[in-house]
């Protein structure tokens, strides 16, 4: 204990008080603690319509502990699964109140005293993906962050984990495909669909693609063909008894991908060869998949499901990061591309309305911080 003199602002008199001197170790911690900058974040306190329950607020600084990395976010997308998490209908979601977002790319701002292999200025992505990327600064354990090549275009680094990785895993995980084989898919204009076309082409695999009948479908067909699609059909073109007559010299597909459901899934099944497999990874139409008895008995078709979340545990992080680096190299080389719109963070709710379909069909919305 020591006697300390205090001078009061409102008068000249001095007062003597006993001041507590904390242990030396506590003094060191107080002066050595690293804090993040204040952050702006998109938060929601309850589940519901994203345009109603989300708001942008300021968050105070947080401590960067020994094993933590503070990352200044550069960009993060608005994915359908992000919307579902806010709505409260996605199977895995953070507890509310929560910060939105699940993937993105950032620049290391500061590191804790025990962190190795990462330095300020490095570009990193959360791998496995981690909730809370819709904010200007994120502090998480070093094990979350994967260092990437800074020459990759920012918007591709921000979006590589959910959609391109889904496309790659589905091509590799279900059927052993070789050059010359064919695949068929609906939802071909989606980012997953566009990635499947390009990744298949790199492997010498033909793609048969189905799109919805809507305004601009002819333009969509041309875009997909420029990406490497062998055939692109609208759903109305396939309202014939024998869809395989449209294939000409292409082999019957061994593998199909369904992200729509309803009639669009039935069209996939019609294309598949004997013993083929259809993988469902989405249900945009919100209609069930109906399968004829003959598809099982006489064609011996297999129906499988794919959910990326199952493959994103920490025990599989090393394999996922290897595939992500491969995809990022393709993007850097211009061999993997898809349409996106980069939007300033200040315009978040405009981007959200586009992602919700309130302004018609729009490209993937990517927030730039």
In the numeric block, the tokens 């009948």 are attached to 213
Residues facing 36 on adjacent strands: none
Tokens encoding 127: 């791998």
Beta carbons within 10 angstroms of residue 358's beta carbon: 11
Q: Which residues 6+ apart lie within 8 Å of 356 measured at CB?
A: 50, 51, 83
Both tokens of residue 209? 């693609």
Please choose, from the candidates 207, 245, 212, the residue with its C-alpha nearest in 3D space to the C-alpha of residue 227.
Answer: 207
* Residue 345 phi, psi dihedral angles, 5° rounding: -55, -35
Cβ atoms 227, 198 nearer than 8 A: yes
Identify any residues that bridge with 68 across adjacent strands, giving them in sequence order: 141
Q: What is the DSSP string of 110-121?
A: EE-TT--S--TT
DSSP, collapsed to helix, strand or coil, labels residue 258 as: strand
Q: Shortest CA distance to 210 belongs to which of 241, 246, 180, 181?
A: 246
Angle at 146 between CA 330 and CA 339, to 5 degrees: 40
Helices (H) and strands (E) in the chain, counts: 11, 20
Which of these, 143, 142, 124, 140, lies nearest to 132 by C-alpha position? 140
Task: Tell me the C-alpha distance between 344 and 347, whole Å.
Answer: 6
Integer Cα distance of 184 and 175 in angstroms: 13
Q: Name the 3-class secondary structure at 230.
A: coil
**150 is written with which tokens?**
């800074």
> Which letter does DSSP use for residue 285 in this model?
T
Tell me which of 20, 44, 90, 137 is the catalytic residue: 90
* Residue 156 annotated in active site: no
Q: In whole angstroms, what is the distance from residue 236 CA to residue 96 CA?
A: 44
Active site (catalytic) residues: 90
């Amino acid at each position: 204990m020591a006697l300390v003199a205090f001078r009061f602002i409102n008068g000249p008199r001095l007062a003597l008080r006993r001041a507590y001197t904390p242990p030396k170790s506590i003094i060191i911690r107080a002066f050595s603690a690293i804090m993040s900058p204040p952050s702006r974040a998109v938060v929601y306190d309850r589940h519901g319509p994203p345009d109603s329950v989300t708001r942008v607020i300021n968050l105070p600084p947080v401590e960067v502990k020994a094993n933590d990395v503070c990352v200044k976010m550069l960009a993060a997308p608005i994915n359908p699964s992000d919307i579902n998490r806010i709505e409260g209908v996605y199977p895995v979601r953070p507890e509310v109140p929560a910060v939105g977002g699940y993937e993105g790319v950032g620049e290391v701002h500061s590191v804790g005293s025990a962190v190795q292999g990462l330095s300020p200025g490095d570009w990193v992505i959360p791998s496995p993906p981690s909730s809370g990327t819709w904010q200007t600064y994120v502090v998480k354990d070093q094990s979350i962050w994967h260092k990437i090549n800074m020459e990759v275009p920012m918007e591709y680094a921000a979006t590589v984990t959910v959609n391109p990785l889904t496309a790659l895993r589905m091509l590799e995980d279900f059927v052993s495909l070789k050059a010359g084989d064919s695949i068929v898919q609906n939802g071909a204009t989606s980012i997953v669909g566009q990635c499947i076309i390009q990744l298949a082409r790199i492997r010498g695999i033909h793609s048969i693609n189905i799109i919805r009948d809507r305004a601009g479908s002819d333009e969509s067909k041309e875009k997909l063909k420029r990406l490497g699609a062998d055939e692109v059909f609208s759903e109305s073109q396939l309202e014939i008894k024998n869809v395989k007559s449209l294939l000409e010299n292409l082999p019957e597909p061994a593998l199909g991908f369904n992200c729509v459901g309803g009639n669009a899934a039935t069209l996939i099944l019609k294309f598949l060869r004997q013993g083929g497999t259809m993988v469902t990874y989405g249900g945009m139409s919100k209609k069930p998949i109906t399968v004829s008895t003959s598809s099982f008995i006489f064609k011996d078709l297999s129906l499988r499901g794919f959910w990326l979340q199952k493959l994103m545990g920490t025990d599989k992080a090393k394999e996922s990061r290897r595939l992500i680096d491969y995809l990022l190299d393709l993007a850097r080389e211009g061999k993997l591309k898809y349409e996106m719109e980069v939007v300033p963070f200040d315009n978040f709710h405009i981007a959200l309305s586009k992602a919700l379909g309130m302004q018609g069909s729009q490209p993937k919305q990517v927030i730039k911080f």
